[in-house]
């Protein structure tokens, strides 16, 4: 029994802490995504944790300024750990000042608040702002890059290696569409309080050119449901965009999609192809809420506990994405240990919900104890031990 629960806990924990491996396999629905003019692309239903469309998602690609997603992750982590504050002013080194490529236009005479550097990195894609942040958090850019690679490993980004914090072309500085989906999903999940920066359309630091102040993500200006995340471009990488969109649907609430388009031919093309993917995902697939957040999926009997039953489910809603019009084919099955013997702690992994669409396996959703159940007293345990033996 204990061995089973320990074996079950590892994959369940991985599901909550990262993007599950099963979510990286596109649904075999027969639906064909639109023709996308890019080297590689990926469309993920973040709400349902499912891939809707994909092409060459494990191919190594140049990262360009999509690198700044990881830089942002580490900066936000440092803010949460109170290693830095938004109001804190950081110096601008000569190295940061001389960074080539897109810039915030800061110089060594300035002491720039962290919050402004964040906006400069995200909105203006400033390599100078990014370097100042990397040096401020890591001490040196080289040490910060080590932190980037350590974090990539911790997130399970097996195809990613960082050589710098800003994304300028350098041998070995590569990633994959799969890894970018992991990073983008975790960025939104782990640091929701900072995601508004990615939706900022205009920003210029006082004293720097206002003409440089428009967000490179032109979808922010075209589609009011788009709220991030990051563009990238170098000659080697082509034009890239990691875009997120959230739209409201009856019965489901907010549904979020994530599109990753890498290696498009132009700034306009990366926006057009991303919009095409997002629109197709919202129309070709419907979201179905199977269980509300915090509601029990099942209430099985418990042995040797102060309570006779255990409520199992998830703290967030269980939602799946299926081809539009096929929701009637969804079936579910709870897979759990039997018998369930107390004690159980709140949040403890307890089996999974298997979801199928007709004959096709759709998802394995880990379930947890929604409430704790303490062990019964000695007489209660003894009585249940006899009942279990008879059973």
For residue 288, how far is the Cα from the chain centroid?
Answer: 20
Contact 231, 251 (CB under 8 A): no
**Burial (CB count <10 Å: 0-12, 13-18, 19+), residue 3:** exposed
Residue 198's closest CA among 99, 71, 80? 71
Contact 281, 338 (CB under 8 A): no
Assess whether 259 carries a catalytic annotation: no
Assess whether 65 carries a catalytic annotation: yes
Query: Which residues neighbour 387 within 8 Å (Cβ) at sequence distance 6 or greater?
Result: 303
Q: What angle do CA 216, 153, 135 make, to 5 degrees?
A: 55
CA distance 121 to 134: 11
Contact 102, 131 (CB under 8 A): no
Residue 233's closest CA among 214, 217, 245? 217
Assess whether 68 carries a catalytic annotation: yes
Start-to-end Cα distance in the chain = 16
Backbone angles phi, psi at 19, to 5 degrees: -85, 120
Checking DSSP bridges between strand 318-323 and strand 285-291, what pairing results, if any? Answer: antiparallel
Q: Which helix (H) or strand (E) holds 94?
A: helix 94-97
Residue 124's closest CA among 216, 6, 224? 216
Rg of the chain taking only CA atoms, in angstroms: 24
Active-site residue among 20, 102, 125, 204? 125
Backbone angles phi, psi at 312, to 5 degrees: -120, 140
Backbone angles phi, psi at 44, to 5 degrees: -120, 135
Catalytic positions, please?
65, 68, 125
């Amino acid at each position: 029994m204990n061995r089973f629960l320990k074996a079950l806990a590892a994959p369940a924990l991985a599901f909550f802490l990262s993007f599950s491996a099963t979510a990286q396999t596109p649904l075999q629905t027969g639906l064909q995504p639109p023709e996308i003019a890019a080297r590689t692309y990926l469309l993920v239903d973040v709400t349902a944790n499912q891939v809707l469309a994909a092409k060459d998602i494990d191919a190594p690609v140049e990262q360009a300024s999509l690198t700044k997603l990881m830089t942002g992750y580490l900066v936000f982590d440092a803010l949460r750990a109170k290693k830095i504050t938004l109001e804190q002013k950081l110096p601008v080194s000569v190295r940061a000042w001389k960074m080539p490529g897109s810039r915030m236009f800061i110089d060594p005479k300035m002491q720039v608040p962290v919050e402004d550097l964040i906006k400069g990195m995200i909105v203006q894609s400033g390599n100078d702002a990014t370097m100042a942040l990397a040096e401020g958090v890591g001490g040196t850019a080289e040490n910060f890059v080590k932190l980037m690679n350590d974090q990539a490993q911790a997130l399970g980004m097996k195809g990613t290696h960082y050589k710098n914090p800003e994304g300028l072309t350098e041998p070995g500085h590569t990633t994959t569409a799969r890894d970018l989906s992991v990073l983008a999903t975790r960025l939104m999940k782990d640091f929701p309080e900072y995601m508004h920066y990615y939706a900022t359309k205009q920003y210029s630091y006082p004293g720097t050119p206002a003409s440089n102040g428009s967000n490179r993500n032109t979808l922010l200006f075209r589609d009011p449901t788009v709220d991030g995340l990051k563009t990238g471009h170098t000659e080697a990488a082509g034009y890239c965009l990691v875009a997120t969109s959230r739209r409201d649907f009856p019965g489901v609430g907010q549904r979020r999609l994530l599109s990753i388009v890498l290696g498009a031919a132009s700034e306009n093309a990366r926006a057009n192809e991303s919009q095409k993917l997002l629109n197709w995902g919202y129309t070709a697939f419907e979201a179905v809420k199977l269980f509300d957040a915090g509601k029990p999926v099942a209430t099985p009997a418990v042995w040797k506990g102060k309570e006779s039953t255990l409520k199992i489910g998830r703290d967030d809603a269980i939602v799946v994405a299926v081809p539009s019009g096929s929701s009637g084919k969804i079936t579910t099955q709870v897979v759990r240990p039997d018998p369930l013997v107390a004690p159980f702690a709140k949040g403890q992994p307890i089996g999974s919900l298997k979801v199928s669409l007709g004959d096709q396996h759709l998802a394995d959703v880990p379930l947890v104890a929604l409430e704790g159940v303490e062990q019964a007293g000695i007489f209660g345990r003894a009585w249940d031990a006899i009942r279990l033996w008879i059973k």
